[in-house]
Chain A
Amino acid sequence: MSKELIRLRDCVMSYGDELVLDHINLYINDKEFLTLLGPSGCGKTTTLRMIGGFLSPTSGDVLFDGVRINHVPPHQRAVNTVFQRYALFPHLNVFENVAFGLRIPKADAGGRKVKLPEREIQERVMEMLSVVNLKGFEKRPVSALSGGQQQRVAIARALVNRPRVLLLDEPLGALDMRLRKDMQNELKRIQQEMEITFIYVTHDQEEALAMSDTVVVMDGGRIQQIGTPEDIYNEPKNAFVADFIGESNIIDGIMRADGVVEIFNRKFQCLDKGFDKDEPVDVVIRPEDVDIVDEAAGQLKGTVTSVTFKGVHYDTIVDFYGFKWLIQTTDFCPVDSRIGIKIDPDGIHVMKKSAYSGMFGDYSSYSEEYEELDVVEDESQEGEGDDPWEDGYEE
């Protein structure tokens, strides 16, 4: 990865008493695919809108190529946005939607407003339409397009301006599952082809892991962790990240020594070091890292309370001393059977205690937790409190 392009320095955003962004520090490299990931209200859209120029931070700086751009209006930033629900112009056809940005006179080096020649507009729009596979659709009214096609128009409309950075605000949120998977690949391909920076906002952790070079996990207006998808998944910094990214059993533990953590009064081998002796910690164990063995051979012994068939594996909930774990395994264990488990040292990840300790990782309310993950979140109005436009989509 190359040089730094955007930096948010100590950015705070507050509306009255409400703190929406709490001292955000973040840098984004050129040509990077960076994802802001978090639940509704975590501040990810606010961050994006700050980069887009629609909001100025209450304090702190937004730097672009080393220049402070806090108060530079959106139309003067080398940044374009793909909006949630596309925000295509209904009165224009596909071609004119894409050409929209090109038709705005831009100031040249001498400060004079110049218009692009019509021929160049024609060429660039057609080229962009072929990039997003929409050739032949130029004359269609946008209202006659499917969701996926509209999505492509929105992307083409933003990219045709050759921005240094493309901001994408939950761009796939309104598409169905299949289309979403296709568009993920498509977006990744476009990003690599165009060689520009993508800043992508989503609450879908799978999407984030699949597409990004860097994932920024946010919650409560704070960055919880920045890292590659692998880092984030394998080395979550706290219970929130562990829980939000994938499935996790998070158990109270005590670090007895480097490489030794105690859970349920049993010592387990692990790879983590550098904790104080006898320091209380959170221990993350991914459901797929647990092997089910005979009760006698198990490091821990428990009772199966629920089994759900998931295709490739079973989701098995096991009660260990009153604490319910999720275990994903291809072995079927009937409900009420007694089982033992084994965990390899690299299946155990130890985290410092945080404000999130004890809030996640218990599967006693398993079904509810699933529902929570499936909630379709609407984060477009995030952080703006009593929003005037929330009924803006009624038809």
Chain B
Amino acid sequence: MTVRELITGLSLETLVEGDLDRAVTGGYTGDLLSWVMGRAKAGDAWFSVMGNVNAVAVCVLADVACLVLCENAALDEAARARAELESVTILRSTATAYTLAGALSARLERTV
């Protein structure tokens, strides 16, 4: 599944467009940045409510496929600017991390 397919499949809003053809190979949920950075895998879709500039840095360093802001969480301006600079895809949904991760999991299982 690509990021583009994730956007369509989970009806996500695109806030910052990075590489939409990148493969999404898994998912991770969490808001504690160090915890996420230590455990999320490269290629994961990361579901969080953290929309600050440090969350964007975590995306870059942990090499996740995209950040999905859950429950309509805000993306602050500094974070948006950094994401555009680093070509990090930031998406958003009104749904909870639980719902989104479940939906991704079901779709990934179908494609295995």
Partners in one complex: no
